[in-house]
């Protein structure tokens, strides 16, 4: 927990040293009194502050402290209110614990911020974003047997409804009636019914087309008839991290009353093996009218995203489309666990996105969308196929999804590597779900504000 400093006694004092010692994030514990000194190196940015606060909190907890006061003044002096917000965010995320289904001890920790008086607004706004990240982490950390599509819909509705977000949940009959054949090819493989979750935040100008945030919500991905290996199946949860991210972003926008219209669309399904699951070779018809030859039932994410994007365009009147998904192992192979993949058809949106990601402290790297890559997802019998065999799987998957964004400005984010870490890659992460995407999507939508 992070609070403003008000004369309570704290076990430790944390000081930030702006110019040293040496490389960023050096820690020094005091010999006299109880002082922890964090060296930030030269010209630290917001992300360095997040990591420094997280590192300090983790070190303090290891030392057995239950509270500390952190002097935010140097950070505020260098970076303004956002400096204090970054410290609070890093500290809070470092304290995150994944849900557990057993008795266990909880040791609370309080970090008091000194030198942040008068910055309550900035801190409250950052706090809303941090809690949204933790909400996304909680959902992604939940195993498949405890988070069916219906559970997910319920959790999202419960969180979003009270904030003034309009929640609509379309059951299988309605999505079938809309012609969402690509979505249903996957959804109908499971006994647990699918849910198309729609969260509308209308903080912007009336009638302004919303930005659509479309997040993959596969509650478990067995691969279907193209069954995963035992090792692959272990990671079967977490394939709804894109859905969790778009929901988190909308929660933060709503809490902070952002002047923008945004609609999150989350196709929530399971990809299972059952008697009449879809098969490799099947030809299916998507909501857009495009037909798709299924080459691999494990390439299910792009199928449900395709129809969710068409839904966002046709039914929600989206003006721009961002999709986010744990889409491909190929993206993990290319960029690892610290950097997500990106494809886009719009330079302006790309640059706005990059500055949002920078503020959020997240890393994305753009893949090329050359025409020859598009040819790789052509099919002799249908408009598209869902898998090509010539490598660059992260690109062909993204281009497949982009084919459904029509001519709208579109960005595709592949968070297969960044959504989950077995060991933390940054100080403010803990093992398991990271909440990838929430902060960047929030920052992006803020930037695209369309206030009256
Ligand atoms: N959800 C997986 C991708 C994934 C893999 C995410 C590892 C996180 C970690 C996706 O549905 C999938 O199975 N993709 C296949 C696509 C292939 C069959 C074209 C993959 O990447 O192997
Ligand atoms: Mn799959
Ligand atoms: Zn998947």
Given a contact cutoff of 8 angstroms between Cβ atoms, the answer to whether 40 and 16 are in contact is yes
Q: Which fold has domain 2-95?
A: 3.40.220
pLDDT of residue 24: 53
pLDDT of residue 17: 81
Q: Which fold has domain 128-447?
A: Aminopeptidase (3.40.630)
For CA atoms 217, 325, 226, 175, the dihedral sign is positive
Q: Which residues line ligand 1 (CB under 6 A)?
A: 221, 235, 239, 296, 298-301, 326-330, 332, 387, 393, 416
Given a contact cutoff of 8 angstroms between Cβ atoms, the answer to whether 219 and 268 are in contact is yes
Average pLDDT for residues 77-106, to the nearest whole number?
Answer: 95
pLDDT of residue 23: 53
Q: Is the pLDDT of residue 11 over 50?
A: yes
Kindly report the average pLDDT of the chain as a whole number: 95
pLDDT of residue 79: 94
Report how far ligand 1's centroid is from the alpha carbon of 329 (Å). 5
Could you give the residue range(s) of every CATH 3.40.220.10 domain in the chain?
2-95
Task: Give CA separation, 285 vs 277, 380, 383, 406, in Å.
Answer: 16, 15, 10, 17
pLDDT of residue 22: 47
- Regarding predicted confidence, which is higher, 362 or 17? 362
Per-residue pLDDT of 385-418, as tens digits, reads 999 989 999 999 999 999 999 999 999 999 999 9
The pairing of strands 67-71 and 410-414 is unpaired
Share of the chain above pLDDT 70, in %: 97
Determine which one of 205, 228, 374, 425 is catalytic.
228
pLDDT of residue 21: 60
Note the pTM of the prediction, 2 decimals.
0.97
Point out the ligand 1 atom lying closest to the alpha carbon of residue 238. Answer: 8
Examine the residue annotation and report whether 228 is marked as an active-site residue of this protein: yes
CA angle 133, 108, 141 (to 5 degrees): 35
Average pLDDT for residues 130-151, to the nearest whole number?
Answer: 97
Q: Where on the phi/psi map is residue 22: left (φ > 0), alpha (ψ -120 to 50), or beta?
A: left
Q: Is the pLDDT of residue 55 over 80?
A: yes
Per-residue pLDDT of 169-221, as tens digits, reads 999 999 999 999 999 999 999 999 999 999 999 999 999 999 999 999 999 99
Give backbone dihedrals phi and psi of 281, rounded to 5 degrees, phi first.
Answer: 105, -25
Could you give the residue range(s) of every CATH 3.40.630.10 domain in the chain?
128-447
Residues belonging to the chain? 452
Candidate of 280, 302, 329 to mutate for ligand 1, largest count of ligand atoms within 8 Å of Cβ = 329
């Amino acid at each position: 927990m992070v609070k403003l400093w008000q004369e309570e006694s704290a076990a430790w004092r944390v000081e930030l040293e702006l110019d040293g010692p040496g490389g960023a994030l050096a820690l020094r514990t005091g010999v006299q009194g109880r002082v922890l000194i964090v060296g930030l190196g030269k010209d630290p940015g917001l992300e360095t502050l997040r990591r420094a606060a997280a590192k300090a909190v983790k070190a303090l907890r290891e030392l057995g402290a239950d509270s500390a006061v952190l002097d935010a003044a140097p950070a505020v002096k260098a970076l303004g209110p956002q400096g204090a917000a970054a410290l609070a965010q890093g500290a809070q995320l470092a304290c995150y614990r994944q849900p557990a289904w057993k008795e266990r001890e909880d040791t609370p920790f309080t970090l008091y911020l000194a030198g942040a008086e008068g910055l309550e607004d900035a801190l409250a706004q950052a706090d809303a974003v941090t809690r949204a990240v933790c909400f996304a982490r909680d959902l992604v950390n939940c195993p498949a047997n405890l988070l069916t599509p219906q559970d997910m819909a319920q959790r999202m509705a419960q969180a979003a409804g009270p904030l003034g977000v309009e929640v609509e949940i379309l059951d299988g009959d309605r999505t079938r009636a809309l012609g969402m054949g690509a979505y249903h090819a996957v959804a109908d493989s499971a006994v647990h019914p699918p849910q198309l979750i729609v969260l509308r935040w209308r903080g912007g100008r009336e009638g302004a087309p919303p930005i659509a945030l479309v997040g993959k919500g596969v509650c478990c991905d067995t691969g279907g008839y193209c069954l995963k290996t035992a090792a692959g199946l272990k990671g079967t949860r977490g394939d709804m991290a894109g859905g969790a991210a778009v929901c988190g972003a909308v929660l933060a926008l709503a809490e902070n009353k952002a002047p923008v219209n945004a609609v999150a669309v989350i196709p929530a399904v399971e990809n299972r093996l059952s008697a009449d699951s879809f098969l490799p070779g099947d030809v299916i018809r998507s909501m857009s009218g495009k037909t798709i030859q299924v080459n691999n039932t494990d390439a299910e994410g792009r199928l449900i995203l395709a129809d969710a994007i068409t839904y966002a365009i046709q039914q929600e009147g989206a003006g721009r489309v961002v999709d986010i998904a744990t889409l491909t192992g190929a993206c993990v192979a290319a960029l690892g666990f610290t950097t997500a993949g990106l494809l886009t058809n719009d330079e302006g949106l790309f640059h706005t996105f990059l500055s949002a990601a920078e503020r959020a402290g997240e890393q994305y790297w753009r893949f090329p969308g050359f025409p020859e890559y598009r040819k790789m997802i052509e099919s002799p019998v249908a408009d598209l196929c869902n898998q090509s065999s010539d490598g660059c799987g992260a690109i062909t998957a993204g281009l497949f999804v982009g084919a459904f964004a029509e001519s709208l400005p579109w960005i595709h984010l592949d968070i297969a590597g960044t959504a989950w870490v077995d060991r933390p890659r940054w100080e403010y992460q803990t093992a398991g779900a990271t909440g990838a995407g929430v902060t960047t999507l929030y920052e992006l939508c803020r930037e695209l504000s369309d206030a009256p």
